Chains A and B, each alone.
Chain A
Amino acid sequence: MKPLLEVKDISVEYVGEKRNQALEKVSFDVKSGEILGIIGESGSGKTTLAYSILNLLPESAKLKGSIIFKGSIITEFKENKLCYLRGKEIGIIPQDPAASFNPVFSVGYQFNEFLKVKGICKDAEERLVLMEEALNKACLWDVNKILNSYPHQLSGGQLQRAMIALVIAAKPSLLIADEPTSSLDVTIESQLVHMFLRLRDEMGFTIIFITHNLGLIEALCDRVVVLYQGQVKEMADKASIIAAPRDEYTKSLVVSFREVGE
């Protein structure tokens, strides 16, 4: 079977006062229905990778290589075609939920706006049903309260789940989660892990999960890409990476992960 997303030899360079090679010949693929973990420490190029898939990089970044999504090379797409892809085909869950909602509009308004603008659902009544469904999938049961609240009235966990609901409401084929839990408590983190698993198992979402926490990878992912200083160090099944890391960097990662636990 053809993979859903293929990333071939992606290089990203920031051109500025000093040149900075953020990614160097990164290649991997994502199969339909799997959770692919991308692990790396800060500065390894994780976020750059996430944004380069949808070409959301700042102007100073120069991207080389090709990204193939559902058989078409999206790196060659024009802006308006990419715009269509964003949200509808590929959804991004950002790191900080508080920063990704506009503080002056209620969550429901922004949710509604997204569905309307993206043309996902034309009818107002249907949109309401759709929103409720999506929120329920994201483990938010008190739908009316969430929709009528302003971002500052909700906790970080609720906001992040509302964000996830917003993203999955468009039923994208691919979800990119960029450290969705790193600003949240362990209690909420644990809950989100199970939510992601349910999204995959029950609704067949394909997820790229970006994190710096090996524990999350262990709990959540099927395959892992280890990113270090912009290069792919290792790519394998979760079990084999944690049990028998081959690369030096992966080894040190596993060692420090074990050390925290003891």
Chain B
Amino acid sequence: MNFWQQFKRNRLAVTMFRLLLVLYVLAILADFFAPYHYDDDDVMHAWAPPTRIHFLDIKQKVITPYINPYTFSTNEYYRRIYSVEKNVLIPVRFFVKGFKYNLLGIWSTDIHLFGVENGRIYLLGADDRGRDIFSRLLYGSRVSLSIGLIGVAISFSLGMIIGGISGYFGGWIDTFIMRVVEMIMLLPGFYFLLALRASFPPEMDSRQVYLLIIVILSFIGWASLARVIRGMVLSIKENEFVFAARALGLTHFRIITRHILPNTFSYVSVAICLSIPGYIIGEAALSFLGLGIQEPYASWGNMLVLSQGIVTIEAYPWVLAPGVAILITTMSFNIIGNTLRDVFDPKRKIL
């Protein structure tokens, strides 16, 4: 049975895989799917609850979907109590014009998937400044979903190459690299992250911060992988096909990259899936503490800053939406990783 057939047998993993694909598409085309810009605020709609979309008119007839606009009054604690004006219908339109953006960075356009022409639509409610949480969630997913992939790409290529060199050559090279690895593994990861971040100016541009987080996380992440890869290389290099390749006069570089490291891929692909959540959570944690992506840019972590108070959560539970997004994403990666591990496990292979 080949790899995909075995993978497909696990329905949950396949569902999670599809879900992730959808999330990535949403992230890439966030400008198109988001009705508002991430910094498009409207004080008149601060803390507005999720908008209900109606498909039936008063006579229970199906018409084009519409929403009712909000009005609010304040209660004795100066908290806004929103209510809808039932007699005003604002139709929800598809492919409407909105703010201008570059789709995929190429086509300049202002068409969005959906939107309303007057009034505002909040699929997942609004935050304290009346910004659309749904739109910000989409923009934030760009950070959270890409940081895992890029971070893993950097740390795993580092880990594989360094681990491969260490295991293949052995001797003092191995000893030296492993001592370095141990030193890095000794660092308490998250506090090191905090310390490093603190040593850079707090008013850094968010793009720089984003890169900085990736670099820091990858710098911590490669060490443990290098150690495992080194161990695998030590056993793979004793295989006769490696000796055959050496007898043929292939260069060391080619033997490592083409003959030894590919044979660790089954482990590595599992490890990748299981370590991406670490990056996502690392970024979210930094941003949550205000050290990562800064306002007005959106990331799942800095959106969660709003949910620091229990009062806020009690009054406006929709601010937890980014938390749910983090949960779903990390769980998907974990489930896929576990399934991959089962698929690659030789003991489960049929005789």
Contacts and interface: CB of A to CB of B under 8 A. Distances in A.
Interface string A1-26: 00000000000001011000000000
Contacts of B350: 14, 16-17, 58, 60
Interface residues of B, number: 4
Interface string B340-351: 000000000011
A93 interface: no
Contact of B1 (A16, A58, A61): A16
A17 B351 CA distance: 11
Contacts of A14: 350-351
Contacts of A16: 1, 350-351
**Interface SS, A side:** loop
Size class of the contact patch on chain A: under 10
Nearest to B5: A17
**Interface SS, B side:** loop
Contacts of B1: 16-17
A60 B351 CA distance: 8
Contacts of A60: 350-351
B9 to A, nearest CB: 12
A25 B1 CA distance: 27
A17 B6 CA distance: 10
Nearest to B349: A16
Contacts of A58: 350-351
Nearest to B1: A17
A14 B351 CA distance: 8
Nearest to A57: B351
A60 B5 CA distance: 17
A23 to B, nearest CB: 14
A16 B6 CA distance: 12
Nearest to A61: B351
Nearest to B351: A58
A169 B204 CA distance: 77
A14 B349 CA distance: 13
A60 B349 CA distance: 10
A43 to B, nearest CB: 13
B3 to A, nearest CB: 12
Interface string A43-82: 0000000000000001011000000000000000000000
Interface in A214-238: none
Nearest to A17: B1
B172 to A, nearest CB: 27
Contacts of B5: 17
B351 to A, nearest CB: 5
7 contacts: A16-B1, A16-B350, A16-B351, A17-B350, A60-B350, A60-B351, A61-B351
Interface of B: 1, 5, 350-351
Nearest first, the 10 A-B pairs at minimum CB distance are A16-B350, A17-B1, A58-B351, A60-B350, A60-B351, A14-B351, A16-B1, A17-B350, A14-B350, A61-B351
Interface of A: 14, 16-17, 58, 60-61
Given A14-B351, A16-B1, A17-B1, 9 more contacts: A14-B350, A16-B350, A16-B351, A17-B5, A17-B350, A58-B350, A58-B351, A60-B350, A61-B351
